[in-house]
Amino acid sequence: MSAEEIQLWGIAAVLVLSVLVIMGWPLVKPRSGENAPREDYDINVYKDQLLEIEADLERGLLSAEQGKAARTEIKRRMLAAADGGDVVSEQGAGSNVLMVAIMTLSIPVGAVLLYLSIGSPNQPDQPLAGRDTRALAAQKEEDMKINRSVAKLAEHLQKTPDDLRGWTLLARTYLSLGRYQDSVNAYAEVYRLDNTNPGAAVDYAEALTLAAQSKIPKQAHALFEKALAADRTDPKARYYLGMYKAQQDDVRGAMQAWIDLATMSPAGAPWLNILNQQIARAAKDSGIDPASIMPSAEAQALAKEIEQVASPDAPGPSNADVKAALGMSEGDRNQMIRTMVERLAGKMQDDPTNKDGWIRLERAYRVLGETAKADAAAARAAKLP
């Protein structure tokens, strides 16, 4: 055994002995003469009870026979307490000694066994500061790797400025890193390349808002309006446009926008928690009861269309498909919905006499804002009996 190990076990032994002395002394020290024995306490109680019986006899609450029986029982208990006092004292002392013996053996033995089981006596100590330093170093290295990858992607995009997927990835990465102004610059390139996509507009607008510390600037407001005009079901555009109204002190208008969005949202939508929190916060600050605001006719109509498109009886998208799609990013969500609608359109080409199918397809196209295709599907449905 090395000198360090001997020193370690020596310190452990001293600490164990110190703890045992502190814990065991109250159990083995002699009783102070100032404390009365337990039997004296019991006898004093019984004496008080005898006095109470005499008082009850005087007030007529007890008969002479009842008083005699009560006095006899109490005197019997007094004799039993006086006879059992020494026995109780000896048992108490013995149990204290036994407890001290058990503690003396179990505490140090248990501690040693526990340390040998889960401890690492041969491993060097790891100070808390050292662990924090290592964790920070690992995080710093990970951040450096991400930054190198981002820099490499940015360099690539300088050479290929029309790479839409690359700009989209760079913009989202900047946003997740909290580099909001860099994200704005990247989303500007995405929007330049794909300005007809409502998802690109709403993502660009969100980056502008975050870069302005959640204060929606005019440019972002215009982009949100454009995105909503192209896709009336866009949840992110509706949410931020409600926030814009709140920032313009139109709290009731903001609550109307958020209640409309809640009406259109499927159960379990990922934005519902924060949406409900915003409604509750606005209600608390303004004193407006949310129950007094009814969903707009547009929101109710869109909710029905979304439900009909997502009907499990439809040969196209299922309810689960729509819920999954609405949980994606705007661009991916729109692409998925369009793919499902195209699948429904393909099935209608195989079964052109299915009038209900054409009606569902018309509604799906109207939800997507594709009026010409919706009109064509409606015309096909009108020709069928």
Give me the chain's average pLDDT, please.
Answer: 75
pLDDT tens, residue by residue, 297-356: 999 988 887 666 555 444 444 555 554 554 455 555 556 666 777 777 877 787 888 887
| Confidence band for 287, pLDDT divided at 50, 70 and 90 | very high
Q: Kindly state the greatest CA–CA separation across the chain.
A: 116
- Residue whose structure tokens are 């594709």: 370
Task: Give the whole-angstrom CA distance, residue 243 versus residue 67.
Answer: 84
Answer yes or no: are the C-beta atoms of 326 and 335 closer than 8 Å: no
Q: Is the pLDDT of residue 97 over 60?
A: no
Q: Where are the domains of the chain?
A: 3-30+38-116, 147-231
Answer yes or no: are the C-beta atoms of 235 and 326 closer than 8 Å: yes
pLDDT tens, residue by residue, 57-66: 666 666 667 6
Given its phi and psi angles, is residue 249 left (phi above 0), alpha (psi -120 to 50 degrees) or beta? left
Q: Is the pLDDT of residue 280 over 60?
A: yes
| Confidence band for 116, pLDDT divided at 50, 70 and 90 | low
Q: Averaged over 269-295, what is the pLDDT?
A: 91
* pLDDT at residue number 225: 95
Return the amino acid letter for 23.
Answer: M
- Residue whose structure tokens are 């299915």: 354
Task: Give the whole-angstrom CA distance, residue 188 versus residue 343.
Answer: 32
* pLDDT at residue number 314: 47
Q: Is the pLDDT of residue 87 over 50?
A: no
Higher pLDDT, 305 or 122: 305
Higher pLDDT, 329 or 164: 164
Q: Is the pLDDT of residue 243 over 60?
A: yes
Which range of 70-84, 102-116, 123-137, 337-351 scores highest in mean pLDDT? It is 337-351
Burial-class residue 5 by CB neighbours within 10 Å (0-12, 13-18, 19+): exposed
Q: With respect to CATH, is domain 147-231 assigned 1.25.40.10?
A: yes
* pLDDT at residue number 90: 44
* pLDDT at residue number 78: 63
Higher pLDDT, 366 or 349: 349
Given its phi and psi angles, is residue 127 left (phi above 0), alpha (psi -120 to 50 degrees) or beta? beta
| Confidence band for 212, pLDDT divided at 50, 70 and 90 | very high
Q: Is the pLDDT of residue 183 over 80?
A: yes
| Confidence band for 83, pLDDT divided at 50, 70 and 90 | low
pLDDT tens, residue by residue, 220-240: 999 999 999 988 888 899 999
Higher pLDDT, 163 or 89: 163
